Every structure is written in C-alpha cells, then in structure tokens.
Amino acid sequence: MKIWVDADACPNVIKDILYRAAERTRTELVLVANQPLAIPRSTLVSRRTVAQGLDAADDAIVEWASPGDLAVTADIPLAAKLVDKGVLAINPRGELYSAENIRQQLSMRNFMDELRGSGVQTGGPNAFGPRDRQAFANQLDRLLAQRIPAAGKPS
C-alpha cells in the first residue's frame, strides 16, 4: 500500500502527520504537486512534480494509484475517481470517502458550485483547527492499522 497526497492544497500540519505515520508504519508516502515541495529525507517519502495545468496532479494520482492504496485529498471529484478505482480516500479533516457516500458528496459539491456560479454567496468551509487535525490523525491510524499486520510489517 502507498499513500498518495494531493499536496498542492494539503495543510502542512497534515503533511507532518503523514510523514510521521509513514515512518512509524514503514509505508511509502508520495506527495504529488504542480510545484516542487520540500520533504523530509526518508527512503519512504517522495515527491512527484507534475506539469502545471488544470487537474494535472489529480490525473496523475488517478493514473498512479492502485486499488488498496490510500489517497489524501480535499478534492471531491478526485476522490470519486479514486473510490471508483478501489483506492481509499480521506480528506484532511479525516472524512472517509466511500462507495456509499461519494455520489452524495459529489452531488452536493456540484450543487454548491452551481449556486456560486449563479452569484449566491455560499461561504466557505470552517477554519481548519485542532479537532480537524485530530480527526485526520485518528482516521489515518485506523486505516493504516487495518492494512498493517500485527507484527508491524507492511503487507
């Protein structure tokens, strides 16, 4: 299993949690972005810089991720493509996207996008805070524990 990160919009505090989790569980972590990123020195952490352009990082993650991998993204259309491919997907607030909920999430996102397009002020998401960080860390730990055998060696 690899962890793929839609890194352009991922909060740094979430990246830090991911770096520690990759080392602790010996899981490969790949950050994908449209610009070069500073990452810690580790044989488990790498970055892939893709060309500038709309959805270039998203398209690359969909292409490179395999069923059973885990992806971190706040991009609901990307999450939908990954879930359809058999990739687990969570957002930086710890919400798991699944086959059961992704269509509803995508419909709501599209509806809100239409409202904004017609001039309706919809506001934005709540500020990212400590509870979000903790929810993400807890969800990540649960998902990694399901994938890592008790001996602590990746499957």
What percent of the chain is predicted at pLDDT more than 90? 66
Return the pLDDT at 103: 77
Q: Which domain holds residue 6?
A: 2-147
Domain tally for the chain?
Answer: 1
List the one residue out of 54, 52, 89 whose CA is nearest residue 72: 89
Length of the chain: 155
How do beta strands 96-97 and 88-90 pair? antiparallel
More confident residue, 126 or 88: 88
Return the pLDDT at 55: 87
d(CA 149, CA 121): 48
DSSP 33-95: ESS-----S-SSEEEEE--SSTTHHHHHHHHH--TT-EEE-S-HHHHHHHHHHT-EEE-TT-P
For residue 21, give the 3-state DSSP assignment.
Answer: helix
As a whole number, mean pLDDT of residues 71-75 equals: 95
Answer whether residue 155 is part of any domain: no
Model pLDDT for residues 102-120, shown as the tens digit of each residue: 778 876 766 667 766 777 7
CATH code of 108's domain: 3.40.50
Answer whether residue 153 is part of any domain: no
What confidence tier does 71 reach under pLDDT thresholds 50, 70, 90? very high
Answer whether residue 9 is part of any domain: yes
Answer whether residue 40 is part of any domain: yes
Answer whether residue 154 is part of any domain: no
3-state helix vs strand vs coil in the chain, percent to 5: 45, 15, 40
Return the pLDDT at 147: 77
As a whole number, mean pLDDT of residues 15-28 equals: 97
Answer whether residue 72 is part of any domain: yes
